[in-house]
Chain A
Amino acid sequence: MEKRLGIQIRNKVIRMVLLVLTTSMLTFILMKASPIDPLQANVGQAALGSMSHEQVEKLEEYWGVGESPVKQYVSWAADFIRGDMGTSLLYRQPVADVIAVKLANSLFLMVTAWILSGILGFFLGVISGMNRGRWIDRLVKGYCLLISSTPTFWLALLLLMVFGVWLKILPVGLSVPIGVEAAGVTFFDRVYHAVLPALTLSITGVSNIALHTREKMIGIMESEYVLFARARGEKGLVLFWHHGLRNALLPAITLHFAAVSEIFGGSVLVEQVFSYPGLGQAAVSAGLGSDMPLLMAITIISALFVFGGNMIADILYGIVDPRIRKGGAA
């Protein structure tokens, strides 16, 4: 058992290192291949034209134009391994500091959305699956299919229009009120500003988990063990509590941890629409502005998040499912 666990941990670590290595390389290659000229993007055509040759050369050095890509990557990687993520070219601050601020903003958004969509999705799926073919099932299914075929940014715009522009009950963007000192921002302000983006993310996150749980629930209701439970007089909520919940929850948990990637991906779009200064928005500006150190760091952190989500799913499954837990012990 001890040995098995050791091997498992070792394998996971190897996989994680490989993942970081390949994503960083891929990001780097893609950035180098991108047609965006860092000077034109950040300094501007007009300003560049009016500069002296020396000034332009200095700027080229700052943005790393013309340097050997391999040398660049290796030196970045060497720093990264030592724990130095470099300095963001756009923010002119250490990348670690930029990410700390942005991640805190995003995390609040994503965790809320993740939990909300998980709980809501699971229960919608359960209700739908247990009432297969009835109107409530059709309603849930219709909602899920509609939502999963709706682009996230479009939904974000829609919510923004309804709640921000027409009803004027929620702010149209940003994470804090405009014209207020940083010290004067209350926790309530932050929550108030996060409602719309979090809501958008939750709504889109629901459909996947709900549809999956519905399928699972239908399978459970048709299973022999539910048939027998019914033959033993169990029904309704008791039946669900004894046999449905646990059997449906297991795959739902796994799926939902694996869905961390989707929430992450969705947050990039949603933050963009709501001008919410989170990790997603930083990623977009870093990409468009050729801020290589920042983009690399964000990509790696996202990859680690997704990896972590999948890994937790793996581990949890082993803990909750006796067949895997005890099977491993035997």
Chain B
Amino acid sequence: MEEPVLKIEHLNISFLQYTNGMRQSQLDVIRDLDVEVNAGEMVAVVGSSGSGKSLLAHAVLGILPYNAARGGRMTYRGSELTQERIEKLRGSEIVMVPQSLSYLDPLVKIGKQIRKGRNDQKTVEKLKNIFRRYDLKEEVEDLYPFELSGGMNRRILISTALIEEPKLVIADEPTPGLDLKVAKRAMGHFRELADLGAGVLVITHDLELALETADRVVVFYAGCTVEEAASKDFIREETLRHPYTKALWRALPQHGFQFIEGVQPYVKEMPEGCPFSPRCGMCTQECRSDIPYRSLRGGRVRCLYAT
């Protein structure tokens, strides 16, 4: 089998924080994250807001803040993705599509910014093609970010990825506050990138949208990946594996909008063992220990009792 474009094993990210003056404490925001993206495949990492999933994008691109520490192993096309290697690849083979326009320089015109200041014939031509493809007028190149209309934003941001020759695209929350139609179209653009042969990793909170376009969904809960499932596994509850994923499934509008008690635990009050245990109906004493992430029915799950 071909090597996956991106393979992340046991990724953990922690922050050093000063509390009460000089006391240092370590915040483990991401504790154990596993994900794989193959060429031509679109994988969605789904987690609720504030669960730290944006950090995954920042880790892959090597732009974590200075007080963050990263552990685990990231492999890009067969060899380890070290900071030096990231710095060589980012912006050409590995690209990120940011959340919002605030990631663009307010004082640089759109066209110049997408081209990163390159003015060679080939890049200029390429951008024209991208704009044509996304139905953006040529004049948009001469606008400043603040002049863009809401509908254009997504297409502009995704253009920053297309101007390169990306083999791996990381999209960080690509549909924030968008209405369903625009959001679907935005996800559709990422699907196209995958169909063109790139590996696409979409980080989102919107399970429904993810299921429509992604090949696989990785469910992220309280710093851990709890389940990895094919999108088609979500058609029926029985094909899902983890109790949290099942709860998510039942919370979808078409499946009855049922919610479960409690909230996702805060980083500092993380229960031992399974992070979902306080809200889980099948939790036992065993769940207080480390739970392995194991393969199950073509997917993976971090639960002792999943069958």
Q: With the chains together, A326 CA to B107 CA distance in Å? A: 12
> Which residues on B sit within 8 Å (CB–CB) of A228?
96, 98, 103-104
Q: Report the bound CA distance from A326 to B146 in whole Å.
A: 10
Partner of A247, one of B58, B107, B144: B107
Contacts of B92 in A (CB 8 A): 233
Mark A211-248 against chain B: 1 for CB-CB distance below 8 A, else 0: 00000000000001101111111110010001100110
Asked whether B98 lies within 8 Å of A224 as measured between CB atoms, the reply is yes
Contacts of B107 in A (CB 8 A): 246-247, 250, 321-322
User: In residues 87-131 of chain B, which contact A (Cβ within 8 Å)?
Assistant: 87, 90-92, 95-96, 98, 102-108, 116-117
Total A-B Cβ pairs within 8 A: 63
Chain A residue at smallest Cβ distance from B60: A231
Give the contacting residue for B102; candidates A225, A235, A238, A242; CB below 8 A: A225
Any chain A CB within 8 A of the CB of B252? no
Q: A322 contacts which chain B residues (CB < 8 A)? A: 107, 144, 146
Q: Which of A161-218 contact B (CB under 8 A)?
A: none
In the complex, the answer to whether A227 meets B63 with C-beta atoms within 8 Å is yes
Q: Are the C-beta atoms of B103 and A227 separated by less than 8 Å?
A: yes
The answer to whether B105 touches A229, judged by C-beta atoms less than 8 angstroms apart, is: yes
Instruction: Give the contacts of A275-330 with B (CB-CB under 8 A).
Output: 321-323, 326
Residues from chain B with Cβ under 8 Å of A234 in the complex: 91, 116
**Does B160 interact with chain A (Cβ within 8 Å)?**
yes
- B61: CB under 8 A from chain A? yes
Q: Tell me whether chain A's interface is mostly helix, strand or loop, or mixed.
A: helix
Q: Which residue of B lies closest to A325 (CB)?
A: B144
Residue pair A232, B108 in contact (C-beta under 8 Å): no
Query: B87's contact among A233, A246, A247, by CB below 8 Å, is which?
Result: A233
Contacts of A224 in B (CB 8 A): 98, 102-103
Q: Which residue of B lies closest to A228 (CB)?
A: B103
* Distance of A325 from chain B, by nearest CB (Å): 10
Instruction: List chain B residues, Cβ under 8 A from A231.
Output: 58, 61, 63, 90-91, 95-96, 98
A238 to B61, CA, bound (A): 18
Is there an interface contact between B105 and A225, defined as CB atoms closer than 8 Å? yes
Nearest-neighbor residue (CB-CB) of B144 within chain A = A322
A232's contact among B102, B106, B147, B160, by CB below 8 Å, is which?
A: B160
CA distance in complex: A234, B87 (Å): 9
Query: Which residues of chain A are near B146, meaning CB under 8 Å?
Result: 322-323
Which B residue sits closest to A246, measured CB to CB?
B107
- A243 touching B108 in the complex, CB below 8 Å, given contacts A231-B90, A233-B87: yes
B96 / chain A contacts, CB cutoff of 8 Å: 228, 231-232
In the complex, what's the smallest C-beta–C-beta distance from A247 to chain B, in angstroms?
6
Q: Tell me if B106 and A323 are in contact (CB < 8 A).
A: yes
Q: Report the separation of the CA atoms of residues A229 and B162 in the bound assembly, to the nearest whole angstrom.
A: 15
Q: Are B116 and A242 in contact (CB under 8 A)?
A: yes
Residue from B63, B98, B117 within 8 A of A242 (CB atoms): B117
Cα A227 to Cα B58 in complex, Å, equals 9
- Contacts of B108 on A, CB cut-off 8 Å? 242-243, 246
Least CB distance from A283 to B in Å reads: 41
From residue 58 to 78 of chain B, which have CB atoms closer than 8 A to chain A? 58, 61, 63
Cα distance A323–B109 when bound, in Å?
11
Chain B nearest CB from A276 CB (Å) reads: 41
User: What CA separation (Å) do A228 and B96 show in the bound complex?
Assistant: 8
Q: How far is the CA of A218 from the CA of B93 in the complex (A)?
A: 29
- The reply to whether A225 and B63 contact each other, CB–CB distance below 8 Å, is no
Complex: A224 Cα to B63 Cα, angstroms: 11
Given that A224-B98, A323-B144 are known contacts, is A232 also in contact with B104, CB under 8 Å in the complex? no
Report the separation of the CA atoms of residues A246 and B98 in the bound assembly, to the nearest whole angstrom.
22
Most chain A beta-carbon neighbours within 10 Å: one of B104, B106, B107: B107
* Bound Cα distance A318, B102 (Å): 21
Across the interface, B105 reaches (CB within 8 A) one of A233, A235, A238, A247, namely A247
Shortest CB–CB separation between residue B223 and chain A, in angstroms?
22
Minimum Cβ distance to chain B for residue A216 (Å): 13
A225, B103: Cβ atoms closer than 8 Å: yes
Nearest CB in chain A: distance from B156 CB, A? 12
Question: Complex: how many Å from CA A244 to CA B263?
Answer: 42
Shortest CB–CB separation between residue B31 and chain A, in angstroms? 24
Cα distance A143–B42 when bound, in Å? 54
**A238 vs B108: C-alpha distance in the bound complex, in angstroms?**
14
Which residues in A have their C-beta under 8 angstroms from that of B104? 225, 228
Q: Closest chain B residue to A245 by CB distance? A: B107
- Chosen A-B contacts, 11 in total, with CB atoms closer than 8 Å, are A228-B96, A229-B105, A230-B63, A231-B90, A233-B90, A233-B92, A233-B116, A247-B107, A321-B107, A322-B107, A323-B144
Closest A-B pairs by Cβ, 5 of them: A233-B91, A232-B91, A228-B103, A231-B61, A225-B105
Given A232-B160, A247-B106; 18 other pairs, CB 8 A cutoff: A224-B103, A225-B103, A225-B106, A228-B103, A228-B104, A230-B63, A230-B90, A231-B98, A232-B90, A232-B91, A233-B87, A233-B90, A233-B92, A234-B91, A243-B105, A247-B107, A250-B107, A322-B107
